[in-house]
Amino acid sequence: MTITIHRGNQIGGCITEIVSSKGTRIFVDLGHNLPKDGQESEDEYASDEAIASLIGDARAIFYTHMHGDHVELFQYVPDGIDQYIGPLALKIMKAKYDHMTYADDLKENSLKCLKKLEPFKTYSKGRPITIDDITVTPFQVSHSSADSYMLKIKCDGKTILHTGDFRGHGYMGEGIYKVIDKYHIAGHVDILITEGTNVNNTSKSMCPESELKEKFKEEFRQYKNIFVLCTSTDADRLESIYSANKESVRRPFIVDTYQKEIIGLISEQAEAGRRLYHFGPYKIYPYSPTNKKMDYMMRRHGFVMLIRSSGRFQSYLDVILPFCKPEETCLIYSQFHGYIDKREGNSAFNQNLYDFVEQFREKGCAFKIIHTSGHASRQDLIRLCEQVNPKVIIPIHKDGNADFASILPDELRMRVCKFDYSKDRVDIFFDPAQKFHASCWCQAMGASARGYRLYSEDTDK
């Protein structure tokens, strides 16, 4: 078996290639590079020719989740190759591109993407899919993107566990450890391929998502008019904000038609008998600047409104902000702080987003940051490695200078694979981008590719 890690030494743009000894080739994720310096991201694989040459005779592509830095190159995959993703993730992707067709400059590419998504196949948690002599079994994990999975891959008698992006401090964060126990994965993994986004993050612990809900409640009680700048595809964050409102002030919950559709899709897939992700019964209103009744309701009762940095939301704010008293109004910024951190050398900085946020501060509104990472803390990375106890550990999705091995206890440190490796009929290669990409731009955790300007909330940190 041959495993090739493409671009493992950067955050985003993830691609893992697995070829069995009989020549069956599959890929896990075809991620687009993340943008830097507020520019649209560039990617050497973002063309039909480049992807055709990269994936060659691949039989299938498995996507761990729908963040652009894992999935966005799907649009270049030749027809006839099976592409798999979670069922809710597929619905959300279709909704996203469908909404993007309304923007003139994005229409053409969005229609192409919608066409490419049509033949997509979906996998189900715990159900193995066999591609010749390779079997892939997905298991759901907690991440800042709804419907995320890790993959257990059996090939040539060996077991690979590919975590995708995950975290232990989400509402379902403990799930990954339970699944590893329940399905007897622990102790039976030859190669663990794990994300390492937070290896360089020295915070003692990550704030659990459940605590964010309490923080939202505190602010909701203090201010009449609340704007929350957040991602629309993070089921946990939507749950925190929606429940905080429901359990405290019960103000009108205002979104746009895109967010309303996504929330509806998440709600539809929410497990019966589980408290989480059922967005109801309190009503969710899609904003309309011409709706007089809504205008009256918002002026009278205040509101909790989800917003994004976009031309459409700016036009909404031009109507709403003038009637909001600054002392009664708060913007809660609920995504990666790096996007609006002006400090020099911060390649994640996004001037448009910064300006969008600044207008609230200039007006004298309160400004709060309520956010927690979508990725595993150092403690969770250690816990995972200890529990799985694999023979070999391959860290990916990490800063170029992040030393994954350094966070592990001695007995595991030696198993971290940093260089090309060949042993016991397993060959592991790191593509040139990994070997020579020593310096890293990848503090940038924004979304990628064309179109992300409009739906820039689709972030990955």
Task: Report the interface residues with Zn ion, using CB under 5 A.
Answer: 67, 69, 165, 460
N-term to C-term CA, the chain:
33
Residue with tokens 């490419």: 116
What is d(CA 39, CA 218) in angstroms, rounded to the nearest whole number? 36
392 or 445: CB nearest Zn ion: 445
Checking 269-272 for CB contacts under 8 A at 24+ apart, the result is 269/87, 269/88, 269/147
67 or 308: CB nearest Zn ion: 67
Q: What three-state secondary structure class fits 328?
A: helix
Q: Residue 214 CB, nearest distance to Zn ion (Å)?
A: 25
251 or 398: CB nearest Zn ion: 398
What is d(CA 99, CA 286) in angstroms, rounded to the nearest whole number? 14
Q: Residue 186 CB, nearest distance to Zn ion (Å)?
A: 24
Q: Residue 342 CB, nearest distance to Zn ion (Å)?
A: 24
- Write the DSSP string, 108-153: HHHHHHHHHHTT-EE--TT--EEETTEEEEEEEE--SSSSEEEEEE
225 or 373: CB nearest Zn ion: 373
155 or 384: CB nearest Zn ion: 384
Q: Residue 31 CB, nearest distance to Zn ion (Å)?
A: 7
Q: What three-state secondary structure class fits 334?
A: coil
168 or 302: CB nearest Zn ion: 168
Strands 2-6 and 426-430: parallel
Q: Residue 6 CB, nearest distance to Zn ion (Å)?
A: 14
Strands 2-6 and 15-19: antiparallel
Q: Residue 70 CB, nearest distance to Zn ion (Å)?
A: 5
CA pseudo-torsion sign 6, 450, 170, 349:
positive
